[in-house]
Chains A and B, each alone.
Chain A
């Protein structure tokens, strides 16, 4: 196992390379306000981050990643365009696997740039590939933006689209909703009874709790309207299914996705972006003919990414977490920007794992 000073030395060298690419070094605090993280990640974050507190500032978390504080810092004071690099510890609670580190060093690079998103995607990916050169790694890429575009362009109600979007990152739940909206799953029995009732609100139970009768009525009304909504068509459903199944080297993937776009024309602008990204990657010397693309990649683990996503994995070491991951998170800047927004892409590397697979003892 590499020791701490070896890991520190490697991080410093990697950070220098990012600086040479034009990044400014930033050093966000270790303690982050829990509220913002909870807002962003939901209750799940409590299982992943260490929480502490004091009487003045309330709940604080030991930073589980850098993205959030870096985005916040940029949205508050950053000039445009901007490139940042950082290195330091992140902390992850481990409740299931004692072999996973609960504290490790990440080195990161983030680009905030409005003008050329395809170029910025390619810049981040190729810089990461350069940092990792020579290691036996497999790169995976994907694009959450294609799936998002497919869902948002479905010929169905906004309510259904919003429900699907909300569970884009939970494939099982997404599937259940999709089957229901496509009429492939019968309505739950209880619901049929409720919606058929003449006056479902005529009951003897007292109203308790903060959720008011008007909210219950509104949901019943919404469910009744939803029942009258025609199912999502077989064509669109088949289109979504073949979209999610695409797994190819990136030029062939694009070709297959263009076929999918016959049924789902709404994904065409996202595919044009993918095409520009491929060209930008090629211009930076990435061998795109060998680069893998999975349309479903990043759906389970990368919740705030909404466009290009990538990861580097150690060949023959399925026990290791990814050595590097990253992606585009335009929506996150909107969420944290209090009205402002800027396209952003970036990622992190694990110098400890790099040293480990290099065999440093």
Chain B
């Protein structure tokens, strides 16, 4: 048996994760065929690489199917209730930075804070006969954030992609999504609320608190964490 490390299977996130480990003397690579989601680990014994979708890594950490995994803080906190008890942060990796934020149309000059959003939501409901819709895929995080801030009269509508476009299409009045440069928001005539930062996310290496470790695996983990530290 070996220690299982889950890494996003595609794109920049995978490449940057590979080079982060490379700098620490551990070479991760995809196996010969690009189609096969299996990987190779050189530079340390007893670790096996599992390539998978970044969105599935939190769940596999929580179920204990993998011991270590690289994914964003946003996905861990959205997908895992009581995430601190299921996973432990080993190290932030310094890339994949993105903020989960609340944004409204830039033309809402009267709206700058969550308080404004709440007041507008009340008036909007009266005028339009339905709650102010906020498009997002981060349902748990957004609902908890808004409830905690005392925002009422909103409803979350699910949007798994192109969330910024929902306002222009009038399927939502505001959005909650991740942004790194804010460019897409501006292109869609949206602005971030001044107190609308829900979470700062970045790619992070996590350790599962649920996985079982054999004595050998425990030793490998200690060695690995030493190398990464």
Q: For the complex, is A36 an interface residue (Cβ under 8 Å from B)?
A: no
Binds B, one of A67-75, A205-213, A252-260: A205-213
Instruction: A42 to B153: give the CA distance in the assembly, Å.
Output: 6
Give how many A residues have a beta carbon under 8 Å from the other chain's beta carbons.
36
A188 contacts B109, C-beta separation under 8 Å: no
Q: For the complex, is A43 an interface residue (Cβ under 8 Å from B)?
A: yes
Q: For the complex, is A198 an interface residue (Cβ under 8 Å from B)?
A: no
B123 contacts A208, C-beta separation under 8 Å: no
Instruction: A219 to B120: give the CA distance in the assembly, Å.
Output: 8
B152 contacts A209, C-beta separation under 8 Å: no
Q: For the complex, is B143 an interface residue (Cβ under 8 Å from A)?
A: yes
A208 contacts B167, C-beta separation under 8 Å: yes
Q: For the complex, is A172 an interface residue (Cβ under 8 Å from B)?
A: yes
Q: For the complex, is B107 an interface residue (Cβ under 8 Å from A)?
A: yes
B112 cross-chain contacts in A, Cβ below 8 A:
188, 190-191, 194
Q: For the complex, is A247 an interface residue (Cβ under 8 Å from B)?
A: no
Q: For the complex, is B155 an interface residue (Cβ under 8 Å from A)?
A: yes
B189 cross-chain contacts in A, Cβ below 8 A:
205-206, 208
Please name the residue on chain A nearest to B166 by beta carbon.
Answer: A209
Q: For the complex, is A57 an interface residue (Cβ under 8 Å from B)?
A: no
Q: Interface extent on B, as a size class?
A: 35 or more
Q: For the complex, is A216 an interface residue (Cβ under 8 Å from B)?
A: yes
Write the nearest CB–CB distance from A123 to chain B, whole angstroms.
34
A43 contacts B143, C-beta separation under 8 Å: yes
Instruction: A170 to B147: give the CA distance in the assembly, Å.
Output: 9
Please name the residue on chain A nearest to B81 by beta carbon.
Answer: A95
Please name the residue on chain B nearest to A170 by beta carbon.
Answer: B150
A208 contacts B107, C-beta separation under 8 Å: yes
A211 contacts B150, C-beta separation under 8 Å: no
A176 cross-chain contacts in B, Cβ below 8 A:
115, 150
Instruction: A173 to B121: give the CA distance in the assembly, Å.
Output: 15
Q: For the complex, is A96 an interface residue (Cβ under 8 Å from B)?
A: yes
B177 cross-chain contacts in A, Cβ below 8 A:
none
B110 contacts A220, C-beta separation under 8 Å: yes
A209 interface neighbour in B122, B147, B168, Cβ under 8 Å: B168
B110 cross-chain contacts in A, Cβ below 8 A:
194, 200, 216, 219-220, 223
A95 cross-chain contacts in B, Cβ below 8 A:
81-82, 140
A166 contacts B113, C-beta separation under 8 Å: no
B143 cross-chain contacts in A, Cβ below 8 A:
43-44, 46-47
B107 contacts A216, C-beta separation under 8 Å: yes
List A31-49 residues whose CB lies under 8 Å from chain B: 38, 42-44, 46-47
B120 contacts A203, C-beta separation under 8 Å: no
B106 interface neighbour in A166, A188, A205, A218, Cβ under 8 Å: A205
Instruction: A206 to B189: give the CA distance in the assembly, Å.
Output: 7
Write the nearest CB–CB distance from A307 to chain B, whole angstroms.
22
Q: For the complex, is B53 an interface residue (Cβ under 8 Å from A)?
A: no
Write the nearest CB–CB distance from A354 to chain B, whole angstroms.
29
Q: For the complex, is B31 an interface residue (Cβ under 8 Å from A)?
A: no
Instruction: A46 to B124: give the CA distance in the assembly, Å.
Output: 21
B82 contacts A210, C-beta separation under 8 Å: no
Please list 18 pairs of residues, one from A and one from B, whose beta carbons are closer than 8 Å in the complex, sorted by A's number.
A42-B131, A42-B152, A42-B155, A47-B143, A95-B140, A166-B152, A170-B150, A170-B152, A188-B113, A188-B115, A190-B112, A205-B106, A208-B167, A209-B167, A209-B170, A210-B170, A215-B124, A219-B119
The 6 closest A-B pairs by CB, nearest first: A173-B150, A190-B112, A205-B107, A95-B81, A170-B150, A209-B105
